[in-house]
Amino acid sequence: MAVDSGIVTIYDLENEGAPLQCHRIDAKEFLATPRWSTSPGEKKQGDAKPLESKEDSGKAIQLKSMDFKALRAMASKAGIVDYIKMDKAALVDALEAGK
């Protein structure tokens, strides 16, 4: 069984990839500069691209916070076809679209 000690190894790219062991919190600060890397001899390519996600409108957030039974009642009043067969995510989408 592995034990997480919180100690990590980072590498100094300006000193031929010399290793440095430090606490993970300190490593985050070091890695903010281009001098340090998590792999020896590798230059940083930049941060990972953020995940693309659909932004929620205020109405979508409000609908997602409601319980399933209330969403079904709203779908029934809105006249959404086959609302009984829909799961919560589908109900939210249908109510938001106003179908």
Q: Is pLDDT above 90 for 14?
A: no
24-59 pLDDT per residue, tens: 888 888 888 888 888 876 655 555 555 565 666 678
Range of the domain at 89: 58-97
Domain-located, residue 2: no
Q: How many separate domains does the chain show?
A: 2
Domain-located, residue 18: yes
> In the β-sheet with 36-37, what is the strand arrangement from edge to edge?
18-23, 7-12, 36-37
Domain-located, residue 51: no
- Structure confidence at residue 3 as a pLDDT band (50, 70, 90): low
Domain-located, residue 44: no
Q: What are the E-state strand segments in the chain?
A: 7-12, 18-23, 36-37
- Domain check: are 33 and 62 in the same one? no
Residue scoring higher pLDDT (82 or 2): 82
Domain-located, residue 21: yes
Determine if residue 6 is left, alpha or beta; phi over 0 gives left, psi from -120 to 50 gives alpha, anything else beta. left
Domain-located, residue 48: no
73-97 pLDDT per residue, tens: 999 999 998 999 999 988 988 998 8
